[in-house]
Amino acid sequence: MAIIVPFPTIRRRAFIERQAHRASCLSPESGEKHIRRQLDIQSETMARKGIHAAQIEHERITLEAAIRAELVRARLFPTGAA
């Protein structure tokens, strides 16, 4: 059986920025639900592709950290700020 290694989710910059932006446009509760749902979707997709559960958990953690870091970065350095 072949080992499937996912493309590191932390490298998916556009996806991370998009999810952070969408979450920031929602109420805190809805934004949190949005992030959790997106993490669930990514985890389910990796599982369907046959990626090992430990690797999925690692990718989920790094993806969540990247989205939350982008939320903070966007608040500290808003677009158009000079």
pLDDT tens for each residue of the chain, 82 residues long:
556 666 666 678 899 999 999 999 999 999 999 999 999 999 999 999 999 999 999 999 999 999 999 999 988 888 755 4
Report residue 36 as tokens. Answer: 């959790």
In order of 14, 17, 53, 72, 82, the CA distances from 39 in angstroms are 15, 14, 14, 18, 33
Per-domain residue ranges of the chain: 9-75
Confidence at residue 81, expressed as pLDDT on a 0 to 100 scale: 54
Confidence at residue 77, expressed as pLDDT on a 0 to 100 scale: 86
Give the H or E element holding residue 57.
helix 53-76
Q: Alpha-carbon distance 1 to 70, whole Å?
A: 37
Confidence at residue 31, expressed as pLDDT on a 0 to 100 scale: 96
Confidence at residue 9, expressed as pLDDT on a 0 to 100 scale: 66
pTM of the prediction? Answer: 0.83
